[in-house]
């Protein structure tokens, strides 16, 4: 695609470098911004560069944060003896949006994946073990994606903690609400049969 | 959606204000930028705010431009007696990408649409009439979208120029290459029958 303006071409190239945005979409976004007042576009670019420059990572749980310790770790009303271990920030947001969890988090920043060259040392695992040792952590809830890499990571962490009294649990795998039995893969269906619950626990919130 | 960081929340809100980008996509883009080096993100926001602040509109054809006169109007190898009238910049880019047009453009910046409160005075029509009068323009090629508003605009411009010797043409409407007769609407099919061409002109480039 040829552009009559170098300025437009550069701006389109920037948008097109984002995942899932092609040249045509990028051009549409640029033309949209061209129609906005200058101050709006200034605010747009300011908020984005500020986000990247000022963001911090919580030194407790490695979640992104505006301060040294994130608002979740800083909250005295949350159960600090319960840690939910997740892969990344997106999972924290997903769990927070359920409004059903009152413990704290630990963001591993990935999962063990030898094929991608990611071993335990590349992840925030040592700091998790330190947290478990130092504080009085009663439960680690593993909320990792149900993949081979996720399961390997759970296995590795549980091995490291085998002499500890901490209880390690995993979020339930089964058939999603609204899902249909006939479209579920055999493995999930088999596991959800094997890990069946008394029917009164089946209801939302266990009520 | 709740975010653990105000900085992230602001950046997500900026992306989500763009057309066709929802909150989830916006978050994905923000997390992508978070993983990039700071200089890259700085360049991203710089190129966007610079584009908005420094862009100019060509005083000849109203196309966007880095200078007072755009690179197309400034090109002595283009036929300045042939003006292609388009609705917006996107159409200029689309026609330029065919690499088949060697004249210049005139960007109306919209079409006449009384229902949206857009009359001839809101568009770059007077400057087009001035250009036709001042320069030795031989042909105006109307490349507007085949809508009621587009046709109204063509009609209005042709009325204004009825005492001029300029030739007014419109791009051909018919069945697209690769299109199938049975799926074409009746109006297009009827028009493409009525405006049929000798078969040797049917081939691409008229060769």
CB contact under 8 A, A52 and B41: yes
> In a structure prediction context, what are the per-residue pLDDT tens digits for chain B, which is 207 residues long?
677 788 999 999 999 999 999 998 999 999 899 889 999 999 999 999 999 999 988 999 999 888 899 989 999 999 999 999 999 888 998 898 888 899 999 999 999 999 989 999 999 999 999 999 888 899 999 999 888 899 999 999 999 998 888 999 988 888 887 778 888 888 888 888 888 877 766 665 544
Chain B residues with CB-CB distance to A4 below 8 A: 63-65, 70-72, 89, 92-93, 96
The 10s digit of each residue's pLDDT in A128-148 is: 999 998 888 999 999 998 888
Q: Pick the residue with more confidence: B18 or A195?
A: B18
* Residue A180 tokens, joined: 């249909």
- What is the architecture, at CATH level 2, of domain A77-171? 3-Layer(aba) Sandwich (3.40)
The 10s digit of each residue's pLDDT in A150-194 is: 999 999 999 999 888 899 998 888 888 777 888 888 888 888 888
At A139 the pLDDT is 92
At B37 the pLDDT is 92
CB contact under 8 A, A5 and B55: yes
- What is the architecture, at CATH level 2, of domain A6-54? Orthogonal Bundle (1.10)
- The percentage of chain A sitting over the pLDDT mark of 90, rounded to a whole number, equals 53
CB contact under 8 A, A31 and B90: yes
Work out the pLDDT band at A207, boundaries 50, 70, 90: very low
A155 neighbors A148 (Cβ within 8 angstroms): no
CB contact under 8 A, A97 and B36: no
**All structural domains of chain A with their residue ranges:** 6-54, 77-171, 174-207
SS3 assignment, position A167: strand
At A17 the pLDDT is 94
At B207 the pLDDT is 45
Alpha carbons A61 and A80: distance in angstroms, whole number: 11
Across the interface, of A7, A66, A90, the residue whose CB is closest to B51 is: A7
B140 neighbors B166 (Cβ within 8 angstroms): yes
CB contact under 8 A, B41 and A25: no
At A135 the pLDDT is 82
Measured CA to CA in angstroms, residue B101 lies from A49, B80, B96, B171, B200 at distances of 41, 12, 7, 12, 20
A residues 1-30 closer than 8 Å to B (CB): 1-8, 10-11, 13-15, 17-21, 25, 27-30
A145 neighbors A111 (Cβ within 8 angstroms): yes
Alpha carbons B200 and B43: distance in angstroms, whole number: 52
Token pair 């060259």 is found at A117
Across the interface, of B1, B32, B51, the residue whose CB is closest to A93 is: B1
A3-7, A102-106, B90-94: least confidently modelled range:
A3-7
Give every CB contact of residue A80 below 8 A, 6+ residues apart in sequence: A73, A103, A104, A135, A137
Across the interface, of A18, A72, A92, the residue whose CB is closest to B32 is: A18
Based on the number of CB atoms within 10 Å of its own CB, is B88 exposed (0-12), middle (13-18) or buried (19 or more)? middle
Residue A197 has pLDDT above 80, yes or no: no
Alpha carbons B25 and B15: distance in angstroms, whole number: 8
At A202 the pLDDT is 63
* Chain A contact for B125 (CB, 8 A cutoff): no
CB contact under 8 A, B50 and A7: yes
Hey, which CATH number is domain B79-171, 3.30.70.260, 3.40.1360.10, 1.10.1040.10, 3.40.50.720? 3.40.1360.10
Q: What is the ipTM of this complex?
A: 0.75
For B37, name the nearest residue in chain A, comparing CA atoms only.
Answer: A52
Q: What is the mean pLDDT of chain A?
A: 88
Same fold, B6-54 and B79-171: no
At A206 the pLDDT is 47
- Please state whether the predicted TM-score (pTM) of the whole model is above 0.95: no
List the Cα angle B80/B85/B87 in 5-degree steps.
140
């Amino acid at each position: 695609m040829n552009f009559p303006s170098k300025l437009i071409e550069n701006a389109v190239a920037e948008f097109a470098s984002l995942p899932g945005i092609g040249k045509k979409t990028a051009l549409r976004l640029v033309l949209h911004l061209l129609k906005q007042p200058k101050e709006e576009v200034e605010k747009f670019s300011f908020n984005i560069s500020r986000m990247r420059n000022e963001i911090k990572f919580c030194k407790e749980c490695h979640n992104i944060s505006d301060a040294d310790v994130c608002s979740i770790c800083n909250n005295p009303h949350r159960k600090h003896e319960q840690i939910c271990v997740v892969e990344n920030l997106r999972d924290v947001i997903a769990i927070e949006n359920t409004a059903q969890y009152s413990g704290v988090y630990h963001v591993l920043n990935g999962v063990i994946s030898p094929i991608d060259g990611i071993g335990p040392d590349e992840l925030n695992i040592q700091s998790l073990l330190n947290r478990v040792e130092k504080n009085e952590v009663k439960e680690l809830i593993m909320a990792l994606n149900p993949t081979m890499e996720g399961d390997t990571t759970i296995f590795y962490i549980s091995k490291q903690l085998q002499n500890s009294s901490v209880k390690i649990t995993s979020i339930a795998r089964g058939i999603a609400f609204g899902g249909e039995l006939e479209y579920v893969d055999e493995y999930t269906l088999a596991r959800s049969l094997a890990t069946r619950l008394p029917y009164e626990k089946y209801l939302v919130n266990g009520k």
